[in-house]
Structure 1
C-alpha cells in the first residue's frame, strides 16, 4: 500500500466517529494485552534459574544478560512515538504480540550463552516497544471513552504475573524444560494475541485532529524531554524503586530485622502483591469518584503509612501487614502516573513519545533500585535504607498536582 493510499484510508477513518461499542471492546482488548504481556514476561523471568543452570552461567554472566534485556528495551522504546505516528498503536501492538512469543521461544532454543544473549536482546527490544504501545493505546481508549481504565489494565498485568509464576512452577515441577514451557505458552498466546488485537481501536484514535492552531508534534530522540516530563520521571523512578525494593528485599528485611522464619519471610511480598492487585481492581472506580490528584494523595499517604509500620512494627506479623498497606496505597500510583503522562503528551504520537521517555525512568527504577538498596544497606544498614524511602515517597505525594492531567485532555504544547 502506497503512502498516499494509507493516508487516504486514515483520513477516511478520522471522519468516522468511534462508537461506544467499539470503545468498550477496545477497553477489554487492551486490558487483555496487558495480561499477555505480563504472563509472557513472567514466564521468562521465572525460568531464569533453569536457563542459568542449562547454560552454566556465572552470576556475573546472568547479570550481563539481564542488563542486555533492560538496555535493549530502554533504547528501543525511545522510537515508539515514531512507530505510532506512522502505523498507529494498534498495529504496533499487533506486530509485537506476534514477535513476543517468537522471541520467547528463541530464548528457549538458544544453544549457547552468546545466542542466549542475542535472543534476550531481541526479547527486550520487542518488550520495550509493547510496553509503551499498550500504555499509549490505553490512554487512547481513556480519551475515547471519557473514563479511566489504566488501573484495570495494570491489575490485569499483576494477575498475569502471578499466573505466569504459577505456570512456570507447574512446568518446572513436571520436569518440562524452559524450551518446552516457552513453546507451549508462546503458541497459545500467539493465537490469543492475534484474536484480541482485532478489537483494538482503529489507527485514527492515535492521530491528533487537524486544526490550524495545532503545533506539529515533535518526534525522535530529542522530543518530549520537558521539565514536566522530568518531574513525572522522578515520580515514576521513586515508585518503581520502592516496588523493586519490596520484591527484592522484603523477605531479607523480615528475616534479619524481625526474626521471621524462612517460611514466614516471603509473606511480606505476598501481602504486598495481593493488596496491590486488589487496589488496582477498584482503582478506576475510585478515580472516577474522587479524581486523580485526590486518589494519588490518598494512595501515597497510605503507602507512606504502610512503610512506617514496616519499619516500626513490633513483630513480623505487623510488618507483613505494613507491606500489605504499602502495596494497597502504592497500587494506584503508577497507573495514575502512566495515565497522566499519556494525556499530558497529547494524542497519539505525542502520548507515545511522552510515555516512552517516562518508561525510561520506570525501567531505571526496576533495574538499579535493588542494587542501590544493597549498596546503601552495606553502608548504613537495611533498616535505615528503607527509612530513606519515606521522604522520597512524601516528595511523590507533594507533586500530586501533576496527576491532574489524568483528569483532563491537554495538549502537549501546554507543557513547554
Structure 2
C-alpha cells in the first residue's frame, strides 16, 4: 500500500513538473514573438512609409485588440479549460506573428495589428491562468520563473530580430520562418501542457475587473505604467540628464530588462524565503529608489544603475499580482487573471501619452520623477497579497 502511494505521488510529481516546463516554454515563445516584433517595428514603419503618428495608431490598435481579448479569454478559460485556450491562442499568435510583418499595405497592417493584439492578449491570459493552476498543483511559488522565461524570450527575440534584419530578411521572410518554428515547438510541447477541469463560473461572462481583482489590478496598472514608460522614455531621459549618445542611451533600458529577467528567475526562491508581502514591499521601494536615482543623477553609470534597480524591483510585482488574481475565491483562475491583466495592461496604454503630456509641459525628468511614487503605492499596499 505504501509502495503504491509512493509510486502514485512520484508519478503525479513528474506529471506536474512536465506541465511546468511545457508552460514555461510557451512563456518563452510568447516573449520571443514580442521581442521579434519590437525589433521589426522600425522596418515595418520604413516599408509602409508611415510617420511616427501613424505608427502610434498601429501600436494602439495592437493594444486595443489585446484589451478586448483579455476579458473574453477569462470567460473562455472558465468554460473550456486553460489547456485548450493556451493551444488555440498560442497557434493564433504564431500565425499572426508571421502575418503582421508581411502585409503589403496600410489597411491590412491595421487589420493584422488588431488580430496580433487579440492573439497576444488571449495567450497572455490563457498561459498565466494555466501557470496559476500549475503553481497551485505544485504548492510552491512558481509564477516568477514563468515570467522570467517571458523576459528571457523577449531578449532572445529582439536579438534574433536584429540578426534577421542585418541579413536582409527583415521584410517578413525571417519573421515567417520564426513563426513556423514557434508553431512547431508549440506542437511538440502540447502533450505536456497540463489540463485542468473547467470552472463553471467563467462559462458565461467577460472577466471584467470586480471585487478583489480591482485592487490587484490597480497595483498591476502602476507597475505596468512604469514598464511602459521606460520603453518609450528611458533613452530620452538618459540623453536629457547625462548627455549620452543615442546608442549609449539605449543601454538604460537594456539594464532594466536584464536585471528584471535575472531577478524573475530568482523570484520564486526569494518568495519562499522572505514571503510574498515582503518581496513586494522591497520591490516597490526598489522601483521608487531606482526611478529617483535615474531621474536625479547626471552620471551615466549611476543612471544606468537606477534603471537596473527598477528592473530588480518590478521583476516580481506583476507575477505576484497575477498569481494572486488566479487564486481569488469565487473566480476561476482564468477570470481572475484576466481581470487583473486587463486593468494592468491599461497602464501600458495610459502611461506613455500621459507622461508625454507632462513632459511637454515640464520635462521627461519631471514626468518620470512623478511616476516614482508608483513604487511607494505598491509597497504600502503589499499586504493585499495576504488576503489572496
CA contact (8 A) 2:74 2:207 kept: no
- After TM superposition, list the pairs within 5 Å mapping 1:166-181 onto structure 2: 166-181=159-174
Q: Offset at 1:223?
A: 5.1
Alignment of 1:245 onto 2:229 = yes
* Among 243, 263, 269, the residue aligned to 1:285: 269
Q: Offset at 1:396?
A: 1.2
- Which consecutive unaligned segments of at least 5 residues does structure 2 have? 1-7
Q: Offset at 1:401?
A: 0.8
> Cα gap change, 1:186/1:218 in structure 2, threshold over 3 Å: closer, same or farther?
closer
TM-score, normalised to structure 2, is: 0.92
Determine the C-alpha separation between the residues in 1 that align with 2:183 and 2:142: 24
* Residue 44 of structure 1: aligned partner: 37
Alignment of 1:370 onto 2:363 = no
CA contact (8 A) 1:79 1:220 kept: no
> Cα gap change, 1:309/1:61 in structure 2, threshold over 3 Å: closer, same or farther?
closer
> Cα gap change, 1:234/1:87 in structure 2, threshold over 3 Å: closer, same or farther?
same
Determine the C-alpha separation between the residues in 2 that align with 1:54 and 1:263: 23
Q: How many residues align?
A: 380
Determine the C-alpha separation between the residues in 2 that align with 1:182 and 1:194: 18
Q: Offset at 1:37?
A: 0.6
* Residue 57 of structure 1: aligned partner: 50
Q: Offset at 1:242?
A: 0.7
Determine the C-alpha separation between the residues in 2 that align with 1:301 and 1:131: 27
* Residue 148 of structure 2: aligned partner: 155
* Residue 191 of structure 1: aligned partner: 184
Determine the C-alpha separation between the residues in 2 that align with 1:173 and 1:367: 31
Q: Could you report, residue by residue, the CA deviation over 1:116-172 in whole angstroms, capped at 9, with x for unpaired residues? A: 211222211111110000000000001111011111011111111111111111011
CA contact (8 A) 1:31 1:156 kept: yes
Alignment of 1:124 onto 2:117 = yes
* Residue 361 of structure 1: aligned partner: 343
Q: Could you report, residue by residue, the CA deviation over 1:13-57 in whole angstroms, capped at 9, with x for unpaired residues? A: xxx998111111111111111001111122122212111222222
* Residue 97 of structure 1: aligned partner: 90
Determine the C-alpha separation between the residues in 2 that align with 1:391 and 1:126: 33
Determine the C-alpha separation between the residues in 2 that align with 1:404 and 1:174: 51
* Among 314, 333, 356, the residue aligned to 1:351: 333
Q: Offset at 1:217?
A: 2.3
SS in 1 for 2:180: helix
Determine the C-alpha separation between the residues in 2 that align with 1:45 and 1:314: 29
Q: Offset at 1:59?
A: 2.4
TM-score, normalised to structure 1, is: 0.86
Determine the C-alpha separation between the residues in 2 that align with 1:103 and 1:165: 17
CA contact (8 A) 1:73 1:124 kept: yes
> Cα gap change, 1:94/1:218 in structure 2, threshold over 3 Å: closer, same or farther?
closer
* Among 324, 332, 336, the residue aligned to 2:308: 324
Determine the C-alpha separation between the residues in 1 that align with 2:381 and 2:280: 9
> Cα gap change, 1:139/1:387 in structure 2, threshold over 3 Å: closer, same or farther?
same
RMSD: 2.0
* Residue 13 of structure 1: aligned partner: none
Alignment of 1:385 onto 2:367 = yes
Determine the C-alpha separation between the residues in 1 that align with 2:65 and 2:47: 23
